[in-house]
Amino acid sequence: MDDLAIETPRPAAAARAERGDDTEHFDVLIVGAGISGIGGAYHLKVQCPNRSYVVLEAQDAFGGTWHSHRFPGIRSDSDLYTFGYRFKPWVGPPIAVAPEIRRYLGEVIAENDLAPRIRYGHKVRSAVWSSRDNRWTITAEAGLDGRPARFTAGFLWMCQGYFRHEEGYTPDWPGMDSFEGVIAHPENWPEDLDYAGKRVVIIGSGATAATMAPAMAKDAAHVTVLQRSPTYYIPQPNANEFFEQLKPLGLDELLVHDIVRRKVVVDMDEITRRSFEEPEALGQELLAGVEAYVGPEQVAKHFTPTYRPWRQRIALLPDGDMLEAIRAGTVSMVTDHIDRFVPEGILLKSGEILEADIVATATGFNLSVLGDIDFVIDGKPLAFHETVTYRGMMFTGVPNMAWVFGYLRNSWTLRSELIADFVCRMLNHMTERGAKRVEVALRDQDHNMPLGPWIDPENFNAGYLLRGQGKLPQRGDKPEWQHTQDYWREKDDFPAIDLEDEVFRYGVRGRPHATPNP
Ligand SMILES: Cc1cc2nc3c(=O)[nH]c(=O)nc-3n(C[C@H](O)[C@H](O)[C@H](O)COP(=O)(O)OP(=O)(O)OC[C@H]3O[C@@H](n4cnc5c(N)ncnc54)[C@H](O)[C@@H]3O)c2cc1C
């Protein structure tokens, strides 16, 4: 159980179970109590105070990513001024470790009395939409015995994250069974694994590997980071200069938070803009930052990616910790390909053997689309990959549902809050309009637009997205029918969305599009 887990009082449910009537109804059902779901619950409470809602969470505590991941050193890779909510100031250093993030989320739950709305240990298995009733029927497996729990809801708000929490992605290398040491994936890291004095090899060089390496190097005999190809990093002090200047001025914390967030967003947007417009100059600056720690030879060998910056997530290194560890000799980088596992370690294509007691496979996620829930719409299984996304949050042919997929180049939460505002505005609009359902549909002129994969691999090519692309909805050729990954634009576009635009089809009751827009 998490240190901050909050028990949910459920007297009403118990009473209903005794009566043999075990289906509960809520206006809104949120799936997931990670940072998106908790934020969603807060915004619903504040912006739609008359709506009933419940949050169903598969795990035994809140936090999502920050509860399920327990690998050494686990921390954010973006700053908490933007990864935190806009309504709750972050007053610590920009990069935070998981317990600090869980504490922050726990405070949001406590300060806003959200605990009674969250049901832990509820894994949603199916969501069935009926256009006759304009309702979702949701079935979850509840508790340790997995007993079925049934709910109905007017609106489904999917805050289930994007990866399968139970197991990470590990390629199937030959000889793994012959290895005499321990192989562990950061997503299911055995917290009692003792690595003191052990030789550790971490496979991968993304943010997770860059987090684990310096953390494990403090106790391990040695840590080797084995990568196929180099990654971009930004080493920087774990302090925000701007925040440090504003802090002593005695300003309201929320005001300082807002100003620092804006500054971070402007800086991040500048990096993104340059990654497209002047990738070479930006790339050289990033490499120079690394070179200042480890020198030109290491940079040429292990830190010069072949892609332009931001085609994959760039990891921040607080206080340059991984590079400091390389300089100190407790961590070393190897750039090579795995031939096979052998009893004593890993045989590389170059013929070298990396001896290891522990191999950490920081090789990524398995994408979980819609929380691995079976969706059925009016008797027909939902083929999610056949839908077209409306701004990366709603989908053609899927009524009364919003899905949170955050940013890849900015903090996830910036987008989850934009979506929260949109969902709340939409729910209030439906009430005013007397509508029971809303669905997005292509306009006549959009029917012939070219469709493509969810994210253009030229734009962003993370492995889990490429592996899962076929399960994701399609995008059109206009920002409206895409997840643009562009916070700068969406922060203005989302609040300005005209809810009476013809893409929104409202209905009072009955079959789809029963009452088209006037
Ligand atoms: C190590 C690590 C570091 C990261 N650092 C950053 C960072 O610094 N900045 C950033 O922007 N992003 C970061 N990310 C990405 C991160 O996952 C997201 O930003 C964010 O935490 C996602 O929040 P979420 O609430 O949307 O999803 P999650 O944190 O994934 O939470 C989703 C919750 O939904 C629950 N759930 C899923 N399916 C079901 C179901 N069927 N029934 C019931 N419950 C279900 C899950 O159990 C989970 O608790 C990081 C990811 C990892 C793994």
Q: Tell me: do 161 and 184 sit in the same domain.
A: no
Q: Quick one: pLDDT at residue 310?
A: 83
How many whole angstroms from 315 Cα to the centroid of ligand 1? Answer: 17
- Of 231, 310, 311, 308, the C-alpha closest to 271 is 310
Q: Quick one: pLDDT at residue 460?
A: 66
Task: Judge whether 347 lies within some domain.
Answer: yes
* pLDDT over 90 at 345, yes or no: yes
Q: Tell me: do 219 and 357 sit in the same domain.
A: yes
* pLDDT over 80 at 393, yes or no: yes
How confident is the model over 9-26, as a mean pLDDT?
A: 66
Ligand 1 atom 39: residue of nearest CA: 371
How confident is the model over 73-85, as a mean pLDDT?
A: 95
Q: Quick one: pLDDT at residue 8?
A: 44
Q: Tell me: do 130 and 161 sit in the same domain.
A: yes
State whether the Cα torsion 195-198-202-208 is positive or negative: positive
CATH of the domain at 229: 3.50.50
* pLDDT over 60 at 233, yes or no: yes
Task: Judge whether 513 lies within some domain.
Answer: no
Structural domain span for residue 327: 176-361
What is the number of structural domains in the chain? 2
Task: Judge whether 43 lies within some domain.
Answer: yes
- Of 195, 165, 191, the C-alpha closest to 181 is 195
* pLDDT over 50 at 518, yes or no: no
How many whole angstroms from 164 Cα to the centroid of ligand 1? Answer: 9
The pLDDT confidence band at residue 272, using thresholds 50, 70 and 90, is confident
Q: Quick one: pLDDT at residue 311?
A: 80
pLDDT in tens, 95-133: 999 999 999 999 999 999 999 999 999 999 999 999 999
Q: Which two tokens stand for residue 459?
A: 């734009």
- Of 136, 410, 144, the C-alpha closest to 268 is 410
How confident is the model over 297-302, as a mean pLDDT?
A: 96
Which among 319, 335, 361 is the end of a domain? 361
How many whole angstroms from 97 Cα to the centroid of ligand 1? Answer: 15
Q: Tell me: do 151 and 200 sit in the same domain.
A: no
Q: Quick one: pLDDT at residue 13?
A: 56
How confident is the model over 376-393, as a mean pLDDT?
A: 96
Contact 95, 315 (CB under 8 A): no
* pLDDT over 50 at 514, yes or no: no
How confident is the model over 183-210, as a mean pLDDT?
A: 95
pLDDT in tens, 242-262: 999 999 999 999 999 999 999
Q: Which two tokens stand for residue 48?
A: 């739609």
* pLDDT over 80 at 18, yes or no: no
* Residue 83 near ligand 1, beta carbon < 6 Å: yes
How many whole angstroms from 26 Cα to the centroid of ligand 1? Answer: 24
Task: Judge whether 514 lies within some domain.
Answer: no
How many whole angstroms from 507 Cα to the centroid of ligand 1? Answer: 33
* Residue 396 near ligand 1, beta carbon < 6 Å: no
- Of 159, 179, 157, the C-alpha closest to 170 is 179
How confident is the model over 272-285, as a mean pLDDT?
A: 92
Q: Quick one: pLDDT at residue 66?
A: 96
* pLDDT over 60 at 386, yes or no: yes
How confident is the model over 503-518, as a mean pLDDT?
A: 64
Q: Tell me: do 340 and 382 sit in the same domain.
A: no
Cα(112)–Cα(107) distance, rounded to whole angstroms? Answer: 8
Cα(279)–Cα(24) distance, rounded to whole angstroms? Answer: 53
- Of 27, 152, 26, the C-alpha closest to 426 is 27
Length of the chain: 518
pLDDT in tens, 440-494: 999 999 999 999 988 776 666 666 677 777 788 999 999 999 998 889 899 999 9
How many whole angstroms from 464 Cα to the centroid of ligand 1? Answer: 14
The pLDDT confidence band at residue 49, using thresholds 50, 70 and 90, is very high
Q: Tell me: do 220 and 347 sit in the same domain.
A: yes
Task: Judge whether 87 lies within some domain.
Answer: yes
Contact 201, 354 (CB under 8 A): yes
Contact 473, 454 (CB under 8 A): yes
SS (H, E, C) 410-421: CCHHHHHHHHHH
The pLDDT confidence band at residue 2, using thresholds 50, 70 and 90, is very low
Q: Which residue has the tokens 């692309």?
A: 469
Lowest mean pLDDT among 397-406, 419-428, 478-487: 478-487
- Identify the burial level of 493 via C-beta atoms within 10 angstroms of its C-beta, where 0-12 means exposed, 13-18 middle and 19 or more buried: middle
Which among 311, 343, 361 is the end of a domain? 361
- Where is pLDDT greater, at 459 or 418? 418
Q: Tell me: do 376 and 503 sit in the same domain.
A: yes
Q: Quick one: pLDDT at residue 445?
A: 92
Cα(156)–Cα(41) distance, rounded to whole angstroms? Answer: 12
CATH of the domain at 417: 3.50.50.60
Report the half-sphere exposure of 518 (CA within 13 A, side-chain side).
Answer: 2
How many whole angstroms from 465 Cα to the centroid of ligand 1? Answer: 15
Q: Please, what is the average pLDDT of the chain? A: 91
* pLDDT over 90 at 286, yes or no: yes
Q: Tell me: do 58 and 73 sit in the same domain.
A: yes
- Report the residue among 29, 30, 65 best suited for mutation to probe ligand 1: largest number of ligand atoms under 8 A from its CB: 65
The pLDDT confidence band at residue 313, using thresholds 50, 70 and 90, is confident
How confident is the model over 426-438, as a mean pLDDT?
A: 97
Q: Tell me: do 234 and 310 sit in the same domain.
A: yes
- Identify the burial level of 351 via C-beta atoms within 10 angstroms of its C-beta, where 0-12 means exposed, 13-18 middle and 19 or more buried: exposed
Task: Judge whether 516 lies within some domain.
Answer: no
pLDDT in tens, 145-182: 999 999 999 999 999 998 877 778 889 999 999 999 99
Question: What is this structure's pTM?
Answer: 0.92
* pLDDT over 60 at 516, yes or no: no
* pLDDT over 60 at 315, yes or no: yes
* Residue 406 near ligand 1, beta carbon < 6 Å: yes
Q: Concatenated DSSP letters for 439-471?
A: EE---GGGTTS--B-SS-TTT---HHHHHHGGG
Ligand 1 atom 25: residue of nearest CA: 34
What is the DSSP secondary structure assignment for residue 283, as one 8-state letter? Answer: H
**Ligand 1: which atom is nearest the Cα of residue 78?**
8
Task: Judge whether 4 lies within some domain.
Answer: no
How many whole angstroms from 34 Cα to the centroid of ligand 1? Answer: 6
The 10 Å Cβ neighbour count of residue 360 is 29
Contact 341, 347 (CB under 8 A): yes
Q: Tell me: do 357 and 233 sit in the same domain.
A: yes
- Identify the burial level of 313 via C-beta atoms within 10 angstroms of its C-beta, where 0-12 means exposed, 13-18 middle and 19 or more buried: middle
* Residue 161 near ligand 1, beta carbon < 6 Å: yes
Lowest mean pLDDT among 23-37, 220-234, 457-471: 457-471
Task: Judge whether 2 lies within some domain.
Answer: no
205: Cβ contacts below 8 Å, ≥ 6 apart: 225, 227, 230, 231, 333, 362
Cα(367)–Cα(164) distance, rounded to whole angstroms? Answer: 6
Ligand 1 atom 33: residue of nearest CA: 32
Q: Quick one: pLDDT at residue 481?
A: 96
The 10 Å Cβ neighbour count of residue 382 is 20
Q: Quick one: pLDDT at residue 6?
A: 40
Which among 327, 361, 395 is the end of a domain? 361
Q: Which residues pair with 96 in a beta bridge?
A: none
Q: Tell me: do 340 and 372 sit in the same domain.
A: no
Q: Concatenated DSSP letters for 196-242?
A: TT-EEEEE--SHHHHHHHHHHHTTSSEEEEEESS---EEEE-SS-HH
Q: Which two tokens stand for residue 314?
A: 């760039």
Q: Which residues pair with 26 in a beta bridge?
A: 153
Q: Determine the residue type at 473.
A: P
Q: Determine the residue type at 325.
A: A
Q: Tell me: do 347 and 434 sit in the same domain.
A: no
* Residue 208 near ligand 1, beta carbon < 6 Å: yes
Q: Which residue has the tokens 């008359």?
A: 50
